[in-house]
Structure 1
Amino acid sequence: MTERESDVIEEALSMQCGARFVRCALQVNPHHYAGTYRSQPNEGSLESYAAELVAKAQENDIGVLAVTDHNCVRDVPVIQQAAAGSGVVVLPGFELASSDGIHVLCIYPADRDQDTLVLYLGAFGITDPEPSSSACKASFGEILNLVADQGGIAIAAHIDGKNGLLDALKGQARIAAWRHPNLLAAQIPARVEDLPLEAKRIVTNKNAQYARERPAGNELAVAVINACDVIHPDQLGLPSASCWIKMSEPRDVEGLRQAFLDPESRVRLNTDEQPPEHSELEAIAWEGGFLDGSSIHFNPNLNALIGGRGAGKSTVVESIRYALDLEPVGDDASSAHKDIVRHVLHSGTKISMLVRSLDPSERRYRIERTVPNPPIVRDDLGQVSSLRPADILPRVEVFGQHEISELTRSAPKLTVLLRRFVQTDAGLHSRKTSIQRELKRSRKSLLEAEEELDSIDERLAALPQLEERLTRFEEAGLEERLSEQSLLVRESRVVDSIGERLQPLRDALSMLREELPLDRAFVSERALADLPGAAILDGVNPVLQRISEELEGAAGRIEQALVTADEQIGAITTEWSVHKSEIDARYESILRELQKSSVDGEEFIRLRRNIEGLRPLEERRAVLLKLRAEEQQRRRNLLDEWENIKAAQFRELRHAAKKVNKRLKGYVRVDVRAASDRTPLTALLRAEIGGRLDVAIRELESIEDLSLTDLVAVCRNGATELAQRYGITKSQAESITGAGEQLLMQVEELELPPTTQLLLNTAGNTGDETWQTLRQLSKGQQATAVLLLLLLDSDAPLIVDQPEDDLDNRFISEVIVGKMRESKRRRQFVFSTHNANIPVLGDAELIVGLDARGDIGSGDDLGQAFISPTHMGSIDNPPVRALVEEILEGGKTAFERRRRKYGF
């Protein structure tokens, strides 16, 4: 790997990748705290304590510490200094006791200096710079408002404990405090489930009196965090001391604020189930073409590519598809993909992509593709691998503009989509492939046997006539006079058969020679070197060596035996040839005498020779009839298993449909029908028969439950029954039955795929369900149904170019966004979009703003797309938020909807 190649991905990885979960301890106390308030003084100095605090934070993967001493910010700079260069962010703050007795954590951006923080304390009436537990002059509500005005974030501390909000206040005062619009987060000691019943009902917004106008989520009134008092560095390891908060810039409390406004997406307690690991695209970079010099460091969750028309969003999506060597599912999408590769990426452009694969174990691979060459895959050492992109990310899906809409027009492709949810039985699939192969072999064997039987029957048909003529010759006395020559004909047949009997042995010897000596490389010392059972498996090598040597010896002996037999048979045939010559001489003499009597002795011998030549065919015919019967029975068994396997696989698909219906209850319903795609059958009939089959095909396609087994059985009974049973014209029925047994066996071997029908509940959240099939829906509604299916379980990335182009806008905000937020924890999404609902309401972890200069199609000046680092981040990044408002359709409206929901 060259230095340049290494740099493009390294440069991409150095860029902002948006919001990520950071473990935060938001109630950390300085050195003196344990002695001042708990009578448990810490050892050492403030400086050594601060150093140990940072070390323990690193040890416990904690990225943010908020120092919140009571009424004091004196020691914050020392802890910040200790954390400098460590990767641990220290946010300054303090803990206040409100005038109504409630403890509140007040946290500020990392860049707030001590003088500013002292002024903030003064605003609450705290003028003594030393630590104290005195109450401030501000009420709980006033603290919330003032901290927000100061640019900080306030958290209600230990709400169910002493001096906590739910402990300090009662009645209407407590209700008013809890429903205060600037209360965004509350600290609890463990899980929500472990809270006392009354507190749990309040926190989960189940108590009507305390219900907040804008709850933080479906199950929470406000965001809840774990942030117990840390008075010693060792306590940072306690689950209750920290929680995970998703943000893009830990130094700014805007990340905390956005997280508390949307805790379902951005807050995770240590006791919460951790989202499963998943495969992902980590970075992409371009060298050459429209995106030359650009790169993206993807987020593992929801990525939104935004930008004006022609900014390069589609180019990013199609670059990913091109690098992964994925084929579009539709004709229009395929044409658009080729156009972008040819006219925007251009020949010579190189796309480099870093991917993380979990199948079968976690590894990183680099995929590189230069237009127009195929992709290459490098392992983590930079070596070119034999793997293909599909081997690394086998389930990744990429859809270009309007491609989802194209997908809705194909029932077979919808079935392929549903198969993503099938728990495939590998053994069943393997057996199915084996049976398909055996059925094909069976068909070939039966057809060959039938062909040989027809040939034998045709030749044996002449036997009665030949025997009748021979009888007349015998009655004329020729049998006695030419008996010697007649018997010689039989002897000739014996001599000719000698070589035929030995030929199978020669063929078997040749095959044995090809397999010898046995290949033992797979059990060599080198091949077994790294295996734990090498000492056991090593015993295989001498066994194979011994049998190889013994077989070579046996082959030599067989070869010598054949040579000896050839010599002996040669001597016998030579002796017999002399015997034959003597008989032939006497035969010629007899023929000359017969000619005088006008009797054709040669014809008699010719008849005898022909009859003797046909005798073995009768034996062969008997053998073939037996073989055919056995093969027919074997085929019946195979066909029975073939039908059972197809039925089992359909049951798997139907089970998958039930799972999908359960997951999308009230939104999408999936119906699957067995063997309802008749395309393989109609294609076979057209290919093998041709001509007019329109009526036959129409009738066969219209049958709701078509059994290929029944169809073949009826065809074997003749055209009349076929026409009557299936409503086919007599002439077309005769064309089908006249095509012969080969066609019927091919029909038996067909697999008619199931078809999938999607239905969408167009009533939305009204309570009444109105189900409509895709044909009854608008294009936007059709694509909505398919996208909901795509958003379900998978651990592989999903990349979609401007899905809103094909979606019903109401469903985006009401349905799609919710499913997207739920699924993004388990898989990666990369969506290009010009609709603000996806990045804003979907809470995209990474928003990438693209811009372009020049014109893609203006002669030699191809224009240039670029990605500004300031336009990469989440919506907790002010420049990114401003960009979303500026360029996305409904940007301000989406933020207004978010404001109405979350209160900002």
Structure 2
Amino acid sequence: MNTNLQECVLEPNGARFFRGDLHIHSYRASHDVPDSSMTPAEIIATAVQEKLAIIAIADHNEISNVSEAMAEGNAAGVLVVPAVELSTPEGHLLCYLPDIDRLTQFHGRLSLAGRGTQESRCRSTMRECLDLAKDLSGFCILAHVDGGNGYETNHPGGAPAKQDIICHPALLGIELVNAASVVTFAPGDPDPARVQLGRFRNAQLGYGEKQALARVLNSDSHRLTALGRNASEAKKLTRYKMTKPTFEGLRHALEEGDSRIRLEDEIPNSTPFVLGASFVGGFLKDQRIHFSSNLNCIIGGRGTGKSTTFEAVRCLAGDRSKERVVDSEVWPEALHLFWQDEAGTQHSLIRPIHEDLLNLDNNDGGPVNFEIDCFGQGEAARVREEAREDPLALMRYLDTFSCRRARRRRASSQRP
């Protein structure tokens, strides 16, 4: 890897998405796991292989393998969230606690019958379980809500008792059998009763109009080969956005599910993105930026270098900017830019002042730009002023972006 690129990617770049599987069963603790290889050690080893940063062993009404799994996960760099799946009278409920001590307290205060047998069940009501989880700073997710023994399957409609569950502050999400499920408890859900329950939830808990229960996919794996896959056997689970994997980071992701949770079924397999920028000389001398593959915000007061940073990244678009800051006295003597293409190949580029970009990895025809639609602060100000006299000025400006996309689509379709 290019030395400058190495230095860039070592810089912090904020929160990112981590892959998680929050519903895994283990041998002996769950009565219906026939796979003797589903031990805590093997589960952690498979989690590492499947690039899972966050997992939870949530056995049926039992917690005997959680402590060992947490120790194995700590050694391997995998966050193991203390958890249990309860077969309550109303349906299955996934419960997550901050640490093993509170999981043990939680488990000990439940009314459980048939421990360790095929008839094991939780006699505590779902409401009681949610109350207890809240008291111990935990949270819960409705398990396979649209499948067998799922809460929505067992209790369709909008009964008052159901409102108590959906509006409970300890309930943060719903687990789906597959990503195509229509169950959301939010606008767009085809069931008016569920939509109404979602509105009640937001009103009762003081949430914003667009907030909703987080929707997640897990493996619900009972054998090692299923771990890391959803119920349809696809290698598509859920990603959670946080600075680093922690219990509170996971809670926050579920609370802000619209921006911090992504079902992998809904994510493109690969997209190009900017990796970083490094400045040699100029106003931003010796500065390095490691960009996130998600949202990046450049924030600062007047004269702090926002425009220089923006125009530097804009060089990757291929079109020369007309902004005065480019190649001015504050512009870097040498600008290093790094990006990663759809195939995962990383490209290191350099742009000496007053010159064009050069691909350092392949200076004989290597790519020096990729498709980016962008406009600067100066352009936006000019268009805004023009629009005062000519309302169509904004439309013409926006049309330039749609025309570029159309040209790119045509060019792509003509490639051999």
Unaligned runs of 5+ in 1: 411-772, 796-904
- Corresponding residue number in structure 2 for 1:229: 220
2:238 partner letter? W
User: 1:171-570 counterparts in 2 under 5 A?
Assistant: 171-180=159-168, 182-193=170-181, 204-210=188-194, 211=196, 212-213=198-199, 214=202, 222-236=213-227, 238-240=229-231, 243-249=237-243, 251-269=245-263, 272-275=265-268, 277-321=270-314, 326-329=319-322, 334-335=323-324, 337-338=325-326, 341-345=327-331, 348=333, 350-358=334-342, 363-371=345-353, 374-379=356-361, 384-387=363-366, 389=368, 392-393=369-370, 395-407=371-383
Distance 1:280 1:10 in 2: 16
1:81 maps to what in 2?
A: 71
What corresponds to 2:122 in structure 1?
135
User: Are the aligned partners of 2:340 and 2:347 in contact in 1 as well (CA < 8 Å)?
Assistant: yes
What secondary structure is seen at the aligned counterpart in 2 of 1:33? coil
Structure 2: runs of 5 or more not aligned = 407-416
Amino acid corresponding to residue 403 of structure 1 in structure 2: E
Q: Residues 790 and 144 (structure 1 numbering): CA distance in 2 closer, same or farther, change over 3 Å?
A: farther
**CA distance, structure 1, for counterparts of residue 294 and residue 304 of structure 2:** 23
Aligned mates of 2:28, 2:4 — CA distance in 1: 49
Q: Distance in 2 between matches of 1:147 and 1:794?
A: 50
Instruction: State the 1:239 CA deviation.
Output: 2.6
CA apart distance, 1:219: 10
Give, in whole Å, the separation in 1 of the partners of 2:263 and 2:271: 20
Q: Secondary structure at the match of 2:298?
A: strand
Query: Deviations for 1:442-496, whole angstroms, at most 9, x for unmatched residues?
Result: xxxxxxxxxxxxxxxxxxxxxxxxxxxxxxxxxxxxxxxxxxxxxxxxxxxxxxx
The Cα shift of 1:788 comes to: 9.0
Higher helix share: 1
What is the distance in 1 between the residues matched to 2:29 and 2:396? Answer: 58
1:53 corresponds to 2:43:
yes
Q: Give the Cα separation in 2 of the matches to 1:15 and 1:384.
A: 27
Residue 155 (structure 1) shift = 0.4
Compute the RMSD of aligned alpha carbons: 4.2
Q: How many Å separate the matches in 2 of 1:314 and 1:108?
A: 45
* Aligned position for 1:823: none
TM-score (norm 2): 0.75
Q: Which amino acid aligns with 1:298?
A: F
1:65 positional shift: 1.3
* Cα distance in structure 2, aligned partners of 1:246 and 1:219: 19
Partner residue, 2:133: 147
Change (3 A) 1:144 1:127: closer
Structure 2 residue 27 is matched with structure 1 residue 31: yes
1:11, distance to aligned residue in structure 2 (A): 2.3
Cα distance change, pair 94–377 in 1 and its aligned pair in 2 (3 A): same
Paired residues for 1:640-655 under 5 Å: none
Which of 158, 171, 174 lines up with 2:144 in the alignment?
Answer: 158
- Give the strand-richer structure, 1 or 2: 2
What is the number of residues matched between the two proteins? 392
One-letter identity of the residue aligned with 1:29: H
Identity of aligned residues (%): 25
- Closer, same or farther: CA 103–42 of 1 in aligned 2, 3 Å: same
Measured after TM superposition, the shift of residue 75 of structure 1 is: 1.9
**What letter is aligned with 1:135?**
C
Instruction: Specify the SS of the correspondent of 1:184.
Output: strand
Deviation at 1:18, TM superposition (A): 4.0
Q: 1:188 Cα shift? A: 2.3
Q: Decide whether the 8 Å contact of 1:408 with 1:774 is kept in 2.
A: yes
> Structure 2: how far apart are the matches of 1:141 and 1:792?
55
CA distance 1:377–1:238, change in 2 (3 Å): closer
Q: Give distance in 2, aligned partners of 1:72 and 1:83.
A: 19
- 2:23·2:56 contact (CA, 8 Å) conserved in 1? yes
| Distance apart, 1:786 and its partner CA | 4.6
- Contact kept, 8 Å, 1:33 with 1:231, in 2: the verdict is no
Change (3 A) 1:784 1:95: farther
CA change 1:376–1:789 in 2 (3 A) is closer
Q: 1:93 aligns with which of 83, 91, 104?
A: 83
Give the CA deviation at 1:255.
Answer: 4.2
Shift of 1:365: 1.8
Q: Which one has the largest radius of gyration?
A: 1
Q: Which residue of 1 aligns with 2:409?
A: none
